[in-house]
Amino acid sequence: MLPSGMDVSMPLLGSVQPNNYKTESVDGRVHVTWRSVESDSLSVRYYLNQDLFIFGGIAGILAVGGLIGAGYYLMQIRKLERIRKNIGFDIDTQDEQP
């Protein structure tokens, strides 16, 4: 039986060893049960349910920051292409005759 508000269902945050287990929620607490245990040790790594919101928020902020950074980078490349074209320094010189 896990403490109140804890869970093991997210693979990156929680894990249970050995693997053939079932979970059920009883009175707001998660119960982990096995039919039979043929191992010398048990390992239960659990997390607080609020951690999902924290990690999700951090991942969302990083994703938005990455999109903004990629957009800024693309905007700077387009700006440099316009500047090069305006001053007559074209990148594509394969069509020109010597």
How confident is residue 47, by pLDDT bands cut at 50, 70 and 90?
A: very high
> Shortest CA distance to 16 belongs to which of 49, 50, 42?
42
3-state secondary structure of 11: coil
Mean pLDDT, residues 68-74 taken together: 98
pLDDT in tens, 15-32: 999 988 999 999 889 999
d(CA 98, CA 95): 10
Tokens found for residue 63: 């994703």
Is pLDDT at 86 greater than 90 in this prediction? no
Return the pLDDT at 89. 72
Q: Confidence class of residue 37 from pLDDT cuts 50, 70 and 90?
A: confident
